[in-house]
Amino acid sequence: MRSIIPVLTVVAVIMAIWYAAAVPMNAPWAYDVAKRADIELTFSDLVAATWSQDKPKLPAPHQVGVELWETTVQKNITSKRSLVYHAWITLSATLMGFGMGTVLGIMLAVGIVYNRVMDMSVMPWVIASQTIPILALAPMIIVVLNAVGISGLLPKAVISMYLSFFPVVVGMVKGLRSPEVMQLDQMHTWHASASQTFWKLRLPASMPYLFTSLKVAMAASLVGAIVGELPTGAISGLGARLLAGSYYGQTIQIWSALVMAAALAAVMVALIGLIQRIVLKRMGMAT
Amino acid sequence: MTDLKDAGLKDAGNPAAHPDVRGGAVISAKDLDLTFQTNDGPVHALKGVSLDIEKGEFVSFIGPSGCGKTTFLRCMADLEQPTGGSITVNGVTAAEARAARAYGYVFQAAGLYPWRTIGGNISLPLEIMGYSRTEQRDRVARVLELVELAGFENKFPWQLSGGMQQRASIARALGFDADILLMDEPFGALDEIVRDHLNEQLLKLWSRTEKTIAFVTHSIPEAVYLSTKIVVMSPRPGRITDVIDSPLPKERPLDIRESPEFLEIAHRVREGLRAGHGDD
Protein backbone atom coordinates (compact mmCIF):
# COMPACT_ATOMS: atom_id res chain seq x y z
CA MET A 1 0.00 0.00 0.00
CA ARG A 2 2.80 2.36 0.92
CA SER A 3 4.58 1.86 -2.37
CA ILE A 4 1.41 2.60 -4.34
CA ILE A 5 0.94 6.13 -3.00
CA PRO A 6 4.10 7.61 -4.56
CA VAL A 7 3.25 5.88 -7.85
CA LEU A 8 -0.28 7.29 -7.86
CA THR A 9 1.05 10.73 -6.98
CA VAL A 10 3.34 10.68 -10.00
CA VAL A 11 0.49 9.47 -12.22
CA ALA A 12 -1.75 12.29 -10.94
CA VAL A 13 0.94 14.90 -11.61
CA ILE A 14 1.46 13.59 -15.16
CA MET A 15 -2.30 13.65 -15.80
CA ALA A 16 -2.56 17.22 -14.54
CA ILE A 17 0.30 18.39 -16.76
CA TRP A 18 -1.18 16.46 -19.69
CA TYR A 19 -4.63 18.05 -19.33
CA ALA A 20 -3.11 21.47 -18.82
CA ALA A 21 -0.89 21.12 -21.88
CA ALA A 22 -3.79 20.01 -24.05
CA VAL A 23 -5.45 23.40 -23.69
CA PRO A 24 -2.79 25.64 -25.31
CA MET A 25 -1.80 22.90 -27.78
CA ASN A 26 -5.31 22.56 -29.18
CA ALA A 27 -6.45 26.16 -28.62
CA PRO A 28 -5.62 27.54 -32.15
CA TRP A 29 -7.96 25.02 -33.78
CA ALA A 30 -10.68 25.74 -31.24
CA TYR A 31 -10.34 29.50 -31.88
CA ASP A 32 -10.48 28.88 -35.63
CA VAL A 33 -13.69 26.91 -35.35
CA ALA A 34 -15.20 29.54 -33.05
CA LYS A 35 -14.23 32.36 -35.38
CA ARG A 36 -15.82 30.69 -38.39
CA ALA A 37 -19.01 30.10 -36.41
CA ASP A 38 -18.75 33.65 -35.09
CA ILE A 39 -18.90 32.63 -31.45
CA GLU A 40 -17.02 34.21 -28.57
CA LEU A 41 -15.30 31.48 -26.50
CA THR A 42 -15.33 31.70 -22.71
CA PHE A 43 -12.50 30.00 -20.89
CA SER A 44 -14.63 27.02 -19.89
CA ASP A 45 -15.86 26.68 -23.49
CA LEU A 46 -12.27 26.74 -24.65
CA VAL A 47 -11.21 24.03 -22.23
CA ALA A 48 -14.16 21.87 -23.20
CA ALA A 49 -13.39 22.39 -26.88
CA THR A 50 -9.70 21.57 -26.56
CA TRP A 51 -10.42 18.34 -24.70
CA SER A 52 -12.89 16.95 -27.19
CA GLN A 53 -11.50 17.51 -30.68
CA ASP A 54 -11.53 14.75 -33.29
CA LYS A 55 -7.96 15.29 -34.39
CA PRO A 56 -6.30 17.23 -31.60
CA LYS A 57 -2.59 18.01 -31.61
CA LEU A 58 -2.49 16.57 -28.11
CA PRO A 59 -5.46 14.39 -27.18
CA ALA A 60 -6.64 14.57 -23.59
CA PRO A 61 -6.07 11.44 -21.44
CA HIS A 62 -9.77 10.57 -21.33
CA GLN A 63 -9.94 10.62 -25.14
CA VAL A 64 -7.08 8.11 -25.30
CA GLY A 65 -8.83 6.12 -22.59
CA VAL A 66 -12.07 6.01 -24.53
CA GLU A 67 -10.24 5.03 -27.72
CA LEU A 68 -8.41 2.26 -25.84
CA TRP A 69 -11.71 1.02 -24.39
CA GLU A 70 -13.44 1.03 -27.75
CA THR A 71 -10.59 -0.72 -29.60
CA THR A 72 -9.90 -3.38 -27.00
CA VAL A 73 -12.92 -4.34 -24.93
CA GLN A 74 -15.61 -3.40 -27.43
CA LYS A 75 -14.02 -5.01 -30.48
CA ASN A 76 -13.74 -8.66 -31.34
CA ILE A 77 -10.06 -9.48 -30.89
CA THR A 78 -9.84 -11.03 -34.36
CA SER A 79 -11.05 -7.77 -35.90
CA LYS A 80 -8.50 -5.68 -37.81
CA ARG A 81 -9.73 -2.67 -35.85
CA SER A 82 -8.99 -4.28 -32.48
CA LEU A 83 -5.91 -2.96 -30.75
CA VAL A 84 -5.54 -6.34 -29.03
CA TYR A 85 -5.16 -7.92 -32.46
CA HIS A 86 -2.46 -5.43 -33.44
CA ALA A 87 -0.74 -5.76 -30.09
CA TRP A 88 -0.63 -9.52 -30.54
CA ILE A 89 0.97 -9.16 -33.99
CA THR A 90 3.70 -7.01 -32.49
CA LEU A 91 4.02 -9.15 -29.38
CA SER A 92 4.52 -12.35 -31.37
CA ALA A 93 7.40 -10.74 -33.30
CA THR A 94 8.75 -9.34 -30.02
CA LEU A 95 8.70 -12.71 -28.28
CA MET A 96 10.25 -14.52 -31.22
CA GLY A 97 13.00 -11.90 -31.52
CA PHE A 98 13.49 -11.93 -27.76
CA GLY A 99 13.91 -15.71 -27.78
CA MET A 100 16.33 -15.60 -30.69
CA GLY A 101 18.26 -12.71 -29.15
CA THR A 102 18.51 -14.47 -25.80
CA VAL A 103 19.82 -17.68 -27.37
CA LEU A 104 22.26 -15.77 -29.59
CA GLY A 105 23.38 -13.62 -26.66
CA ILE A 106 24.02 -16.59 -24.38
CA MET A 107 25.89 -18.47 -27.10
CA LEU A 108 28.09 -15.48 -27.87
CA ALA A 109 28.75 -14.96 -24.15
CA VAL A 110 29.80 -18.60 -23.72
CA GLY A 111 32.10 -18.26 -26.74
CA ILE A 112 33.60 -15.05 -25.40
CA VAL A 113 34.19 -16.51 -21.94
CA TYR A 114 35.67 -19.80 -23.15
CA ASN A 115 37.54 -18.71 -26.25
CA ARG A 116 40.30 -16.12 -26.13
CA VAL A 117 40.11 -15.41 -29.85
CA MET A 118 36.39 -14.72 -29.59
CA ASP A 119 36.98 -12.58 -26.51
CA MET A 120 39.38 -10.37 -28.47
CA SER A 121 37.47 -10.32 -31.76
CA VAL A 122 33.72 -10.52 -31.08
CA MET A 123 33.18 -8.03 -28.28
CA PRO A 124 34.19 -4.91 -30.29
CA TRP A 125 31.78 -5.96 -33.05
CA VAL A 126 28.99 -6.57 -30.58
CA ILE A 127 29.42 -3.03 -29.29
CA ALA A 128 29.79 -1.55 -32.78
CA SER A 129 26.56 -3.26 -33.86
CA GLN A 130 24.61 -1.19 -31.36
CA THR A 131 25.98 2.12 -32.57
CA ILE A 132 24.29 1.70 -35.96
CA PRO A 133 20.88 3.42 -35.89
CA ILE A 134 18.31 0.67 -36.04
CA LEU A 135 16.01 2.90 -38.12
CA ALA A 136 18.60 2.89 -40.91
CA LEU A 137 19.24 -0.80 -40.66
CA ALA A 138 15.68 -2.06 -40.36
CA PRO A 139 14.57 -1.37 -43.97
CA MET A 140 17.69 -3.09 -45.29
CA ILE A 141 17.12 -6.18 -43.17
CA ILE A 142 13.53 -6.38 -44.40
CA VAL A 143 14.46 -5.82 -48.06
CA VAL A 144 17.28 -8.37 -47.97
CA LEU A 145 15.15 -11.01 -46.25
CA ASN A 146 12.29 -10.34 -48.65
CA ALA A 147 14.66 -10.82 -51.57
CA VAL A 148 15.46 -14.32 -50.35
CA GLY A 149 11.79 -15.04 -49.88
CA ILE A 150 11.44 -14.50 -46.16
CA SER A 151 8.63 -12.20 -45.10
CA GLY A 152 6.03 -11.86 -42.39
CA LEU A 153 7.01 -12.47 -38.77
CA LEU A 154 10.67 -13.39 -39.16
CA PRO A 155 12.11 -10.11 -40.55
CA LYS A 156 10.55 -8.20 -37.65
CA ALA A 157 11.85 -10.79 -35.19
CA VAL A 158 15.34 -10.42 -36.67
CA ILE A 159 15.26 -6.69 -35.94
CA SER A 160 14.08 -7.45 -32.40
CA MET A 161 16.88 -9.94 -32.02
CA TYR A 162 19.40 -7.39 -33.27
CA LEU A 163 18.47 -5.08 -30.40
CA SER A 164 17.90 -7.68 -27.70
CA PHE A 165 20.99 -9.87 -27.96
CA PHE A 166 23.26 -7.05 -26.83
CA PRO A 167 22.21 -6.72 -23.18
CA VAL A 168 22.21 -10.53 -22.90
CA VAL A 169 25.80 -10.81 -24.18
CA VAL A 170 27.07 -8.10 -21.88
CA GLY A 171 25.21 -9.44 -18.82
CA MET A 172 26.08 -13.07 -19.42
CA VAL A 173 29.78 -12.42 -20.03
CA LYS A 174 29.86 -10.69 -16.67
CA GLY A 175 27.76 -13.42 -15.04
CA LEU A 176 29.74 -16.35 -16.41
CA ARG A 177 32.91 -14.65 -15.19
CA SER A 178 31.50 -13.93 -11.75
CA PRO A 179 32.81 -17.10 -9.98
CA GLU A 180 35.91 -16.33 -7.93
CA VAL A 181 39.33 -17.77 -8.74
CA MET A 182 39.02 -19.84 -5.59
CA GLN A 183 35.81 -21.47 -6.76
CA LEU A 184 37.42 -22.33 -10.09
CA ASP A 185 40.49 -23.74 -8.28
CA GLN A 186 38.11 -25.82 -6.19
CA MET A 187 36.58 -27.32 -9.35
CA HIS A 188 40.14 -28.01 -10.50
CA THR A 189 40.97 -29.93 -7.31
CA TRP A 190 37.96 -32.19 -7.96
CA HIS A 191 39.20 -32.76 -11.50
CA ALA A 192 35.92 -31.42 -12.88
CA SER A 193 35.54 -31.29 -16.64
CA ALA A 194 34.98 -28.01 -18.47
CA SER A 195 31.31 -28.84 -19.02
CA GLN A 196 30.81 -29.71 -15.34
CA THR A 197 32.38 -26.39 -14.36
CA PHE A 198 30.01 -24.65 -16.77
CA TRP A 199 26.78 -26.36 -15.70
CA LYS A 200 27.45 -26.56 -11.96
CA LEU A 201 29.34 -23.31 -11.34
CA ARG A 202 29.41 -20.71 -14.11
CA LEU A 203 25.82 -21.00 -15.30
CA PRO A 204 24.10 -20.96 -11.88
CA ALA A 205 26.38 -18.11 -10.80
CA SER A 206 25.27 -16.08 -13.83
CA MET A 207 21.51 -16.33 -13.15
CA PRO A 208 21.05 -12.97 -11.38
CA TYR A 209 22.92 -11.28 -14.26
CA LEU A 210 20.82 -13.12 -16.84
CA PHE A 211 17.49 -11.94 -15.48
CA THR A 212 18.60 -8.33 -15.26
CA SER A 213 19.71 -8.53 -18.89
CA LEU A 214 16.46 -10.20 -19.96
CA LYS A 215 14.41 -7.28 -18.65
CA VAL A 216 16.42 -4.81 -20.73
CA ALA A 217 16.33 -7.19 -23.71
CA MET A 218 12.54 -7.50 -23.55
CA ALA A 219 12.03 -3.75 -23.71
CA ALA A 220 14.55 -3.50 -26.57
CA SER A 221 12.78 -6.34 -28.40
CA LEU A 222 9.49 -4.49 -28.37
CA VAL A 223 11.13 -1.37 -29.78
CA GLY A 224 12.71 -3.56 -32.47
CA ALA A 225 9.39 -5.13 -33.47
CA ILE A 226 7.66 -1.73 -33.71
CA VAL A 227 10.54 -0.26 -35.70
CA GLY A 228 10.37 -3.31 -37.97
CA GLU A 229 6.74 -2.53 -38.77
CA LEU A 230 7.39 1.08 -39.76
CA PRO A 231 9.34 0.84 -43.05
CA THR A 232 7.41 -2.05 -44.58
CA GLY A 233 4.08 -0.40 -44.88
CA ALA A 234 2.78 -3.16 -42.69
CA ILE A 235 -0.96 -3.14 -42.24
CA SER A 236 -1.07 -4.75 -38.84
CA GLY A 237 0.87 -4.37 -35.64
CA LEU A 238 1.34 -1.45 -33.25
CA GLY A 239 3.94 0.06 -35.60
CA ALA A 240 1.42 0.02 -38.44
CA ARG A 241 -1.14 1.73 -36.18
CA LEU A 242 1.41 4.43 -35.37
CA LEU A 243 2.25 4.94 -39.02
CA ALA A 244 -1.36 4.93 -40.21
CA GLY A 245 -2.29 7.27 -37.42
CA SER A 246 0.38 9.75 -38.44
CA TYR A 247 -0.64 9.58 -42.14
CA TYR A 248 -4.24 10.45 -41.40
CA GLY A 249 -3.63 12.74 -38.45
CA GLN A 250 -5.33 10.28 -36.09
CA THR A 251 -3.48 11.46 -33.00
CA ILE A 252 -5.81 9.63 -30.65
CA GLN A 253 -5.01 6.39 -32.44
CA ILE A 254 -1.25 7.09 -32.20
CA TRP A 255 -1.49 7.79 -28.51
CA SER A 256 -3.55 4.72 -27.78
CA ALA A 257 -1.03 2.58 -29.68
CA LEU A 258 1.76 4.16 -27.63
CA VAL A 259 -0.06 3.47 -24.38
CA MET A 260 -0.65 -0.10 -25.52
CA ALA A 261 3.05 -0.57 -26.34
CA ALA A 262 4.08 0.81 -22.96
CA ALA A 263 1.60 -1.43 -21.16
CA LEU A 264 2.83 -4.43 -23.13
CA ALA A 265 6.44 -3.71 -22.17
CA ALA A 266 5.48 -3.21 -18.54
CA VAL A 267 3.61 -6.51 -18.40
CA MET A 268 6.42 -8.44 -20.09
CA VAL A 269 9.12 -6.96 -17.87
CA ALA A 270 6.99 -7.62 -14.79
CA LEU A 271 6.55 -11.23 -15.95
CA ILE A 272 10.32 -11.68 -16.21
CA GLY A 273 10.67 -10.11 -12.78
CA LEU A 274 8.20 -12.65 -11.42
CA ILE A 275 10.07 -15.58 -12.98
CA GLN A 276 13.30 -14.11 -11.62
CA ARG A 277 11.91 -14.02 -8.10
CA ILE A 278 10.64 -17.58 -8.31
CA VAL A 279 13.86 -18.96 -9.78
CA LEU A 280 16.22 -17.12 -7.45
CA LYS A 281 14.08 -18.01 -4.47
CA ARG A 282 14.24 -21.68 -5.38
CA MET A 283 17.99 -21.29 -5.81
CA GLY A 284 18.28 -19.79 -2.34
CA MET A 285 19.59 -16.55 -3.84
CA ALA A 286 16.56 -14.34 -3.22
CA THR A 287 17.52 -10.87 -2.12
CA MET B 1 30.24 -40.56 15.54
CA THR B 2 31.10 -42.73 12.62
CA ASP B 3 34.44 -44.08 11.68
CA LEU B 4 35.01 -43.65 7.98
CA LYS B 5 36.75 -47.01 7.69
CA ASP B 6 34.11 -48.95 9.66
CA ALA B 7 31.45 -47.25 7.62
CA GLY B 8 32.89 -48.87 4.54
CA LEU B 9 33.54 -45.60 2.78
CA LYS B 10 36.73 -46.83 1.11
CA ASP B 11 36.52 -47.22 -2.60
CA ALA B 12 38.93 -50.02 -3.33
CA GLY B 13 38.69 -49.61 -7.08
CA ASN B 14 40.85 -46.48 -7.06
CA PRO B 15 44.49 -47.55 -6.65
CA ALA B 16 46.09 -44.11 -7.02
CA ALA B 17 43.81 -42.70 -4.33
CA HIS B 18 44.73 -45.48 -1.92
CA PRO B 19 48.18 -46.68 -2.86
CA ASP B 20 50.13 -49.32 -1.03
CA VAL B 21 52.51 -46.81 0.51
CA ARG B 22 53.98 -49.07 3.21
CA GLY B 23 56.27 -46.71 5.02
CA GLY B 24 57.07 -44.69 1.87
CA ALA B 25 56.25 -40.99 1.81
CA VAL B 26 52.73 -40.01 0.81
CA ILE B 27 53.97 -36.65 -0.41
CA SER B 28 57.57 -36.28 -1.45
CA ALA B 29 59.12 -33.05 -2.74
CA LYS B 30 62.69 -32.91 -3.99
CA ASP B 31 64.56 -29.68 -4.74
CA LEU B 32 61.32 -27.98 -5.66
CA ASP B 33 61.70 -24.59 -7.37
CA LEU B 34 58.95 -22.24 -8.43
CA THR B 35 59.75 -18.88 -9.97
CA PHE B 36 57.02 -16.47 -11.02
CA GLN B 37 57.95 -14.08 -13.83
CA THR B 38 56.60 -10.65 -12.96
CA ASN B 39 57.11 -7.18 -14.39
CA ASP B 40 59.50 -6.45 -11.53
CA GLY B 41 61.63 -9.47 -12.44
CA PRO B 42 61.49 -13.06 -11.25
CA VAL B 43 60.03 -13.89 -7.83
CA HIS B 44 61.37 -17.03 -6.20
CA ALA B 45 58.29 -18.39 -4.47
CA LEU B 46 60.02 -21.68 -3.73
CA LYS B 47 63.70 -22.53 -3.90
CA GLY B 48 65.25 -25.94 -3.23
CA VAL B 49 62.35 -27.22 -1.12
CA SER B 50 62.66 -30.88 -0.14
CA LEU B 51 60.27 -32.62 2.24
CA ASP B 52 58.74 -36.04 2.85
CA ILE B 53 55.34 -36.40 4.47
CA GLU B 54 54.61 -39.86 5.85
CA LYS B 55 51.23 -41.52 5.89
CA GLY B 56 49.02 -40.40 8.77
CA GLU B 57 51.14 -37.38 9.66
CA PHE B 58 49.73 -33.97 10.52
CA VAL B 59 52.16 -31.47 9.03
CA SER B 60 51.85 -27.73 9.56
CA PHE B 61 53.52 -25.13 7.39
CA ILE B 62 54.21 -21.86 9.14
CA GLY B 63 55.98 -18.71 8.09
CA PRO B 64 55.43 -15.06 7.22
CA SER B 65 53.57 -13.93 4.10
CA GLY B 66 55.47 -14.66 0.93
CA CYS B 67 57.39 -17.63 2.35
CA GLY B 68 55.78 -19.94 -0.19
CA LYS B 69 53.79 -22.11 2.22
CA THR B 70 50.56 -21.76 0.27
CA THR B 71 52.46 -22.10 -3.03
CA PHE B 72 53.97 -25.35 -1.75
CA LEU B 73 50.50 -26.65 -0.84
CA ARG B 74 49.19 -25.63 -4.26
CA CYS B 75 52.07 -27.55 -5.88
CA MET B 76 50.96 -30.68 -4.02
CA ALA B 77 47.43 -30.05 -5.33
CA ASP B 78 48.61 -29.49 -8.92
CA LEU B 79 47.23 -25.96 -8.78
CA GLU B 80 50.73 -24.54 -9.44
CA GLN B 81 53.38 -25.98 -11.72
CA PRO B 82 56.90 -26.11 -10.22
CA THR B 83 59.63 -24.72 -12.47
CA GLY B 84 62.23 -27.15 -11.12
CA GLY B 85 62.64 -30.28 -9.00
CA SER B 86 60.02 -32.95 -8.57
CA ILE B 87 57.02 -33.68 -6.41
CA THR B 88 55.12 -36.95 -6.03
CA VAL B 89 51.80 -37.52 -4.31
CA ASN B 90 50.90 -41.13 -3.50
CA GLY B 91 53.89 -42.16 -5.57
CA VAL B 92 52.65 -40.51 -8.77
CA THR B 93 52.91 -36.96 -10.14
CA ALA B 94 50.71 -34.26 -8.62
CA ALA B 95 48.67 -34.10 -11.85
CA GLU B 96 47.98 -37.84 -11.79
CA ALA B 97 47.11 -37.69 -8.11
CA ARG B 98 44.64 -34.87 -8.79
CA ALA B 99 43.07 -36.85 -11.62
CA ALA B 100 42.71 -39.78 -9.21
CA ARG B 101 41.04 -37.47 -6.63
CA ALA B 102 43.78 -38.32 -4.13
CA TYR B 103 43.26 -35.27 -1.93
CA GLY B 104 40.62 -32.99 -0.52
CA TYR B 105 41.49 -29.29 -0.48
CA VAL B 106 40.10 -26.82 2.04
CA PHE B 107 40.54 -23.16 1.11
CA GLN B 108 40.79 -20.17 3.44
CA ALA B 109 37.20 -19.16 2.58
CA ALA B 110 34.52 -21.81 2.75
CA GLY B 111 33.48 -21.02 -0.83
CA LEU B 112 30.11 -22.73 -0.52
CA TYR B 113 27.75 -22.17 -3.45
CA PRO B 114 25.00 -19.82 -2.27
CA TRP B 115 22.46 -21.54 -4.55
CA ARG B 116 23.04 -24.96 -3.02
CA THR B 117 22.03 -26.20 0.41
CA ILE B 118 24.72 -27.50 2.76
CA GLY B 119 23.88 -31.04 1.65
CA GLY B 120 23.94 -29.94 -1.99
CA ASN B 121 27.33 -28.32 -1.51
CA ILE B 122 28.81 -31.44 0.04
CA SER B 123 27.44 -33.66 -2.70
CA LEU B 124 28.82 -31.33 -5.41
CA PRO B 125 32.21 -33.07 -5.70
CA LEU B 126 30.42 -36.41 -5.42
CA GLU B 127 28.20 -35.48 -8.38
CA ILE B 128 31.26 -34.46 -10.34
CA MET B 129 32.97 -37.75 -9.52
CA GLY B 130 29.93 -39.72 -10.62
CA TYR B 131 28.72 -41.27 -7.35
CA SER B 132 25.18 -42.64 -7.46
CA ARG B 133 22.38 -40.66 -5.81
CA THR B 134 21.92 -43.05 -2.89
CA GLU B 135 25.68 -43.17 -2.35
CA GLN B 136 25.76 -39.35 -2.36
CA ARG B 137 23.01 -39.20 0.25
CA ASP B 138 24.73 -41.71 2.51
CA ARG B 139 28.06 -39.97 2.29
CA VAL B 140 26.62 -36.50 2.90
CA ALA B 141 24.86 -37.77 6.02
CA ARG B 142 28.04 -39.43 7.25
CA VAL B 143 30.44 -36.51 6.77
CA LEU B 144 27.92 -34.06 8.20
CA GLU B 145 27.91 -36.13 11.36
CA LEU B 146 31.69 -36.23 11.29
CA VAL B 147 31.90 -32.42 11.43
CA GLU B 148 28.95 -32.21 13.85
CA LEU B 149 26.58 -30.54 11.40
CA ALA B 150 23.94 -33.28 11.29
CA GLY B 151 20.52 -31.72 10.71
CA PHE B 152 21.84 -28.74 8.72
CA GLU B 153 21.65 -30.55 5.42
CA ASN B 154 18.77 -28.50 4.01
CA LYS B 155 19.96 -25.12 5.24
CA PHE B 156 21.48 -22.61 2.85
CA PRO B 157 25.03 -21.35 3.53
CA TRP B 158 23.90 -17.85 4.55
CA GLN B 159 21.88 -19.42 7.35
CA LEU B 160 25.09 -20.73 8.98
CA SER B 161 27.82 -18.95 10.97
CA GLY B 162 31.32 -18.59 9.51
CA GLY B 163 32.66 -21.44 11.65
CA MET B 164 29.85 -23.75 10.61
CA GLN B 165 30.39 -22.85 6.96
CA GLN B 166 34.06 -23.75 7.26
CA ARG B 167 33.11 -27.07 8.89
CA ALA B 168 30.77 -27.72 5.95
CA SER B 169 33.63 -27.02 3.57
CA ILE B 170 35.78 -29.54 5.48
CA ALA B 171 32.94 -32.05 5.22
CA ARG B 172 32.87 -31.41 1.49
CA ALA B 173 36.58 -32.26 1.26
CA LEU B 174 35.99 -35.45 3.27
CA GLY B 175 33.04 -36.75 1.26
CA PHE B 176 34.99 -38.63 -1.39
CA ASP B 177 37.42 -40.07 1.20
CA ALA B 178 40.73 -39.10 -0.30
CA ASP B 179 43.53 -40.11 2.07
CA ILE B 180 45.13 -36.69 1.97
CA LEU B 181 43.67 -33.45 3.28
CA LEU B 182 45.33 -30.20 2.16
CA MET B 183 44.22 -27.20 4.22
CA ASP B 184 45.19 -23.63 3.37
CA GLU B 185 44.65 -21.48 6.48
CA PRO B 186 41.14 -22.88 6.87
CA PHE B 187 40.50 -21.11 10.17
CA GLY B 188 42.41 -17.91 9.39
CA ALA B 189 39.29 -15.77 9.07
CA LEU B 190 37.62 -17.02 12.27
CA ASP B 191 37.81 -15.64 15.78
CA GLU B 192 39.98 -17.20 18.48
CA ILE B 193 37.27 -19.10 20.36
CA VAL B 194 35.74 -20.64 17.26
CA ARG B 195 39.21 -21.46 16.04
CA ASP B 196 40.09 -23.32 19.30
CA HIS B 197 36.93 -25.34 19.01
CA LEU B 198 37.53 -26.22 15.37
CA ASN B 199 41.16 -27.15 16.11
CA GLU B 200 39.96 -29.59 18.75
CA GLN B 201 37.40 -31.04 16.33
CA LEU B 202 39.97 -31.30 13.57
CA LEU B 203 42.30 -33.33 15.79
CA LYS B 204 39.46 -35.70 16.68
CA LEU B 205 38.56 -36.04 13.05
CA TRP B 206 42.18 -36.69 12.13
CA SER B 207 42.57 -39.48 14.69
CA ARG B 208 39.27 -41.02 13.61
CA THR B 209 39.96 -40.97 9.88
CA GLU B 210 43.75 -41.50 9.91
CA LYS B 211 44.19 -39.09 7.04
CA THR B 212 47.44 -37.42 6.11
CA ILE B 213 46.99 -33.69 6.64
CA ALA B 214 49.06 -30.80 5.33
CA PHE B 215 47.98 -27.59 7.05
CA VAL B 216 49.08 -24.03 6.29
CA THR B 217 48.80 -21.50 9.12
CA HIS B 218 50.00 -18.15 10.43
CA SER B 219 49.48 -19.07 14.05
CA ILE B 220 52.24 -20.62 16.16
CA PRO B 221 49.90 -22.09 18.86
CA GLU B 222 47.68 -23.56 16.16
CA ALA B 223 50.65 -25.20 14.41
CA VAL B 224 52.10 -26.62 17.62
CA TYR B 225 48.76 -27.79 18.96
CA LEU B 226 47.76 -29.66 15.81
CA SER B 227 50.90 -31.05 14.26
CA THR B 228 53.11 -34.07 14.49
CA LYS B 229 55.57 -32.16 12.34
CA ILE B 230 56.02 -28.41 11.98
CA VAL B 231 57.71 -27.00 8.90
CA VAL B 232 59.05 -23.48 9.36
CA MET B 233 59.48 -21.50 6.16
CA SER B 234 60.94 -18.10 5.33
CA PRO B 235 60.65 -15.76 2.36
CA ARG B 236 62.87 -14.38 -0.43
CA PRO B 237 63.41 -17.00 -1.67
CA GLY B 238 60.67 -19.21 -0.20
CA ARG B 239 62.45 -22.05 1.58
CA ILE B 240 62.27 -24.44 4.53
CA THR B 241 64.39 -23.28 7.45
CA ASP B 242 63.44 -25.81 10.11
CA VAL B 243 61.50 -29.05 10.46
CA ILE B 244 60.38 -29.84 14.01
CA ASP B 245 59.04 -33.26 15.02
CA SER B 246 56.59 -32.74 17.83
CA PRO B 247 57.04 -34.93 20.93
CA LEU B 248 53.47 -34.19 22.07
CA PRO B 249 51.20 -37.22 22.48
CA LYS B 250 48.42 -37.91 20.00
CA GLU B 251 45.77 -37.21 22.64
CA ARG B 252 45.80 -33.44 23.06
CA PRO B 253 43.35 -31.66 25.32
CA LEU B 254 43.24 -27.89 24.81
CA ASP B 255 45.11 -27.23 28.08
CA ILE B 256 48.16 -29.05 26.73
CA ARG B 257 49.00 -25.59 25.46
CA GLU B 258 50.07 -24.60 28.98
CA SER B 259 52.52 -27.52 29.30
CA PRO B 260 56.31 -26.92 29.23
CA GLU B 261 56.77 -29.26 26.22
CA PHE B 262 54.28 -27.24 24.25
CA LEU B 263 55.90 -23.94 25.18
CA GLU B 264 59.32 -25.31 24.31
CA ILE B 265 58.24 -26.26 20.79
CA ALA B 266 56.45 -22.95 20.37
CA HIS B 267 59.66 -21.20 21.40
CA ARG B 268 61.67 -23.16 18.84
CA VAL B 269 59.16 -22.29 16.10
CA ARG B 270 59.35 -18.63 17.06
CA GLU B 271 63.16 -18.75 16.98
CA GLY B 272 63.00 -20.36 13.55
CA LEU B 273 60.67 -17.68 12.26
CA ARG B 274 62.90 -14.93 13.68
CA ALA B 275 66.02 -16.45 12.11
CA GLY B 276 64.27 -16.50 8.73
CA HIS B 277 63.51 -12.83 9.16
CA GLY B 278 67.10 -11.95 10.10
CA ASP B 279 67.92 -10.39 6.74
CA ASP B 280 65.05 -7.89 6.85
Asked if A285 lies within 8 A of B105 by C-beta distance, the reply is no
pLDDT of residue A141: 87
Domains of chain B, by residue range, sit at 25-102+179-276, 114-177
What's the pLDDT band for A142 if we cut at 50, 70, 90? confident
Q: Which of A181, A186, A193, A197 to mutate to test the interface with B (most CBs of B within 10 A)?
A: A186
pLDDT of residue B20: 46
Q: Are B143 and B122 in contact (CB under 8 A)?
A: yes
Asked if A189 lies within 8 A of B127 by C-beta distance, the reply is no
Q: Which of B81, B107, B177 to mutate to test the interface with A (most CBs of A within 10 A)?
A: B107
Residues in chain B: 280
CB pairs under 8 A between A and B: 53
CA distance B38 to B32: 19
Note down pLDDT in tens along chain B; length 280 residues.
Answer: 444 444 434 444 444 444 444 446 888 888 888 888 888 888 888 888 888 888 888 999 998 888 888 888 889 888 888 888 888 888 888 888 888 888 889 998 888 998 899 999 999 999 888 889 998 999 899 888 888 888 898 889 988 988 889 889 988 988 887 888 899 988 887 788 888 888 888 888 888 888 889 999 988 888 888 888 888 888 888 888 888 888 777 778 888 888 888 888 888 888 888 876 655 4
Q: How many CA atoms lie within 13 A of A144 on its CB side?
A: 8
Torsions phi, psi for A146 (to 5 deg): -65, -40
Contact residues for A11 (Cβ-Cβ < 8 A; gap 6+): none
Torsions phi, psi for B174 (to 5 deg): -90, -20
- The model's pTM is 0.80
pLDDT tens digits, one per residue of A33-55: 888 888 887 888 888 888 888 88
Chain A residue numbers with beta carbons less than 8 Å from the beta carbon of B105 are 185-186, 189
pLDDT of residue A210: 94
Chain-centroid distance, C-alpha A283: 28
Q: Which of B113, B114, B129 shows the shortest C-beta gap to A190?
A: B129
pLDDT of residue B7: 40
With residue A46 as reference, give the H or E element that holds it.
helix A43-50
Q: How many CA atoms lie within 13 A of B241 on its CB side?
A: 23
Chain A residue numbers with beta carbons less than 8 Å from the beta carbon of B79 are 185, 188-189
What CA dihedral angle connects B246, B248, B253 and B256, to 10 degrees?
-90
Looking at CA atoms only, how far is residue A280 from chain B in angstroms? 8
Q: What is the mean pLDDT of residues A277-283?
A: 87
pLDDT of residue B280: 46
Please state whether beta strands B103-106 and B58-62 pair in parallel, antiparallel, or not at all (unpaired): unpaired
Does A28 score more than 90 pLDDT? Answer: no
Nearest CA in chain B to A282: B115
Q: What is chain B's percent helix, strand, coil content, to nearest 5?
A: 35, 25, 40
Asked if B115 lies within 8 A of A283 by C-beta distance, the reply is yes
Q: How many CA atoms lie within 13 A of B249 on its CB side?
A: 7
So what CATH class is B25-102+179-276? Answer: alpha beta
So what CATH class is A83-282? Answer: mainly alpha
What's the pLDDT band for A13 if we cut at 50, 70, 90? very high
Lowest mean pLDDT among A7-16, A130-139, A264-273: A130-139
pLDDT of residue B201: 84
pLDDT of residue A287: 53
Lowest mean pLDDT among A219-228, A276-285, B9-18, B121-130: B9-18
pLDDT of residue A233: 65
Q: How many CA atoms lie within 13 A of B180 on its CB side?
A: 31
